[in-house]
Amino acid sequence: MFLVDTILPGISVHAYTFDTFSLTHYCVFKLLARFLLLRSLRYRYNQKEAAPTLFLYDVTSSYLEGEKNELAQFGYNRDKKKGKLQVVIGLLCDNEGAPVSIEVFEGNTQDPKTVLSQIKKVRDRFSCKKVTFVGDRGMLKSVPIENLQEAEFAYITAITQPQVKTLIQSRILQYSLFDENLGEVDCDGIRYIYRRNPVRAEEIQKVRDGKLKKIKELLAQKNVYLSEHPRAKIKTSFNDVNKKIKQLKCEKWIKVCESEEISRSLKLSINEEVCEEQKRLDGCYVLKTDVPEEISSKEEIHERYKALSLVETAFRTCKTVSLELRPLHVRLSSSTRGHVFVVMLAYMIVQELSKLWEEMEITVDEGLRHLTTLSEQMIVLPNGSKISSIPTPSKQNDELLKAAGITLPSYLPSNNITVDTYSHKKKNA
């Protein structure tokens, strides 16, 4: 807390910055209360004209510090933290990417197993009907799709590359059909919408070339070492290169073997046929949906699936910006869910401010830094009584507050409560 004391004859004036508890929480809670009220009118009271018909759903994981969290389990760790326990978090958003609900699962919960609770939530708590559920290719598999059909919900998802190859082998799709324009085929009431993204195809080729370059560099290093060390075992170098090939997942089209032309030397064997086969699906993707064509065109289906990136943006903001979703330092399941829920509320504020300040061409971080100059002035009279006042904000802050619909009060009542940050201190040995 930043504090400036100015002593006048018999009067002490204290100027507090925006970092003080009262003024900060006044602005934040006023914005949050208004925003949550609007959302509760939409979902809690089930206004049919406002009830969403499209839900975006995705999951992520967050690692933990410690081993005693009630929900902690080892699982597929998206944070790339080896040896760390984690929890799984499912975020449900509306078609605009605004969070509707967030749920925490045990860390070893598989993605498809989180879908059923979301279906029940949308159907029973929100009383929504004629809903389209959007999830990625690892989410909406056979069982979740059956659950959606039982609830009479439609779905939009993508299929994996092996599934695409199965469709090609079944002659439902053909390699020649993929280009920059959207295409569509219908099979037994299921629509498959396909496209080749040329930008993505170039990116995949660059990654493939980069892997080959790394393997060649390692191979050259091993050959130099073998030539300079006559007693070195060629088998050891062979295993090192082969390990690198497997690590980069190139074993299907790259092999290492001993050179027949040069003694004590290794060379690469590249299977061009397999490599060309892999290139045929570079940048290709297929969407799968049971939404009838008379309700949504293939272009609309494509745009709705792309909206799933809004959920990914929410996760990225919560995990990598200043909202501090991870790591978790709590133990109880209730505390874990409470922490994640508060982070979701914070993201809702960030998302709302981003919309409100969009025309001002200012980011949320920049706007909040400007607002740190807001202050509260406390005047202490000789008789001990206190008078609180809030100076007129600067022009920049006034515009930010007006855009957010917040009007600062002329004063804040004093409750004589001091808020300090508690920190653990090591006991002296």
pLDDT number for residue 58: 93
Is residue 28 included in any domain, yes or no?
Answer: yes
Q: List all residues 6 or more positions away from 89 whose beta carbon is below 8 Å from its beta carbon.
A: 59, 60, 61, 62, 102, 103, 104, 105, 315, 325, 340
State the total domains in the chain. 3
Give this prediction's pTM. 0.78
Rounded CA gap, 222 and 160, in Å?
Answer: 37
Last residue of a domain, one of 259, 279, 299: 279
143 is a domain residue: no
Shared-domain flag, residues 10 and 39: yes
Beta pairing, strands 86-94 & 54-63: antiparallel
Per-residue pLDDT of the chain (429 residues; tens, 9 = 90+): 222 333 333 433 344 333 444 455 555 555 655 555 555 445 443 444 456 688 999 999 988 887 888 998 998 888 778 888 899 999 999 888 888 889 999 999 999 999 999 999 888 888 888 899 999 988 888 898 999 999 999 999 999 999 999 999 999 999 888 999 999 999 888 999 999 999 999 999 999 999 999 999 999 999 999 999 988 999 999 999 999 999 999 999 999 998 877 788 999 999 999 999 889 999 999 999 999 989 899 999 999 999 999 999 888 888 876 677 887 888 888 888 988 888 888 888 888 888 888 888 888 888 888 887 877 777 777 777 777 777 888 888 888 888 888 877 776 666 565 555 444 444 444
Alpha-carbon dihedral angle through residues 92, 330, 19, 321, given to the nearest 10 degrees: -50
pLDDT number for residue 12 = 39
Judge whether 69 lies within some domain.
yes
pLDDT for res 26: 55
pLDDT at 1: 26
Q: Identify whether residues 332 and 403 lie together within a single domain.
A: no
Residues 388 and 333 in one domain: no
**70 and 45 within one domain:** no
Contact between 289 and 157 under an 8 Å Cβ cutoff? The reply is yes
Q: Which of 127, 138, 124, 103 is nearest to 51 (CA)?
A: 127
302 falls within a domain: no
**Closest C-alpha among 152, 117, 130 to residue 51:** 130
Phi-psi region of 19 (alpha: psi -120 to 50; beta: other; left: phi over 0): alpha
360 plus 404 within the same structural domain:
no
pLDDT at residue 360 in the model: 87
In this structure, the answer to whether residues 75 and 30 fall within a common structural domain is no
Question: Are 318 and 344 members of one domain?
Answer: yes
Does residue 353 lie in a domain region?
A: yes
In a domain, residue 35? The reply is yes
How far is Cα 269 from Cα 255, in angstroms, rounded to an integer?
5
What's the confidence (pLDDT) of residue 307? 92
Inside any domain, residue 358? yes
Q: Which residues pair with 106 in a beta bridge?
A: 87
336 and 394 together in one domain? no
Give the structural domain span for 205: 199-279
Asked if residue 39 belongs to a domain, the reply is yes
Task: Check whether residue 218 and residue 250 sit in a common domain.
Answer: yes
